[in-house]
A = this chain, B = another copy of it.
Amino acid sequence: MSAAADEKETGRIEAFSDGVFAIAVTLLVLELKVPHLADGGADGSLGRALLAQWPSYVALVTSFFTILVMWANHHRVFELVHRVDAPFLYANGLLLLVVTVVPFPTALLAEYFRKPGASVAAAVYAGTYVVAGVAFQLFWRTAISGRRLLKRNYSEERVQEISRRYWVGVPGYAAATIAAFVSVYLTVAICVALLVVWIAVSRRG
C-alpha cells in the first residue's frame, strides 16, 4: 500500500476507536437511575434520595475521566504509528472491548457500594482497570513490536520511556483491587489518586 493509503487506513481505525470511546463515555449516564418514590418526592424525600445516590456520581465521574485518560493515551500511540496491520487491529479491538465494558462495573459499584456485596463490586470495578491496563500494554507492545508500525523519528529510548510509563497503571489498579477487601473507600481513593497521577503525567506531554 502507498503511504497515503496507509495513513487513511490508520486514520479510519483511529476514528472508529474514537467513536467507541465517545459512546462508552456517554453510556455511563444510563447508570444514573431516576429514583421511583412512592410518596412522589414529598417533604424533600426526592432530594434525600438523590443525595443517597452519591456513590453513583463518584463512580460515573471516576469512570468518565479514566476512559478519557485511556483515550488520550490511545491517541498518543496512534501518533507514533504510521500504518496498521492485523495484529494491531485486533489488539486495538481487545482494548476497545474493555472500554465498552466499563459502564457495567461502574453500575455494579454504584449499586452495591453500601451493601454487603461492596467488596466484590469494588474488586470487579478496579479489576476491570487491571484488565484494561493489560490490554493497553498488549496494544502498545503490538504497536512497537519490531518497529514495523512505528514512525521513523522515535528513538528507542523514547519508546522504552513510554513503555515504562504505561506500566504504572497495572500494579496501581491491582493494589486497588486487593484493597477492596479492606475497604471500598480505599479502592475508590486509589482509583481517584491514580487518575490524578495520570492527568498530571499527561500534562508533561
Majority DSSP secondary structure for residues of A touching B: helix
Q: Which of B41, B72, B89, B104 contacts A32 (CB 8 A)?
A: B104
A23 to B111, CA, bound (A): 24
Q: Which B residues are in CB contact (< 8 Å) with A164?
A: none
A29-B104, A41-B115 known; 18 new pairs, CB 8 Å cut-off, are A20-B25, A20-B26, A23-B26, A24-B26, A24-B29, A25-B100, A26-B27, A29-B100, A32-B101, A34-B104, A34-B107, A37-B117, A40-B116, A40-B117, A41-B116, A42-B116, A46-B112, A68-B90
Bound form: Cα–Cα A44–B24 in Å:
29
Q: How many residues of A contact B (CB 8 A)?
A: 70
**A61 x B27 contact (CB < 8 A):** no
Q: Mark A102-118 against chain B: 1 for CB-CB distance below 8 A, else 0.
A: 11100110011001111
A21 to B17 CA separation, bound complex (whole angstroms): 11
User: Complex: how many Å from CA A16 to CA B71?
Assistant: 10
Least CB distance from A45 to B in Å reads: 7
**Within the complex, which residue of B44, B117, B203 is in contact with A120, where a contact is CB–CB below 8 Å?**
B44
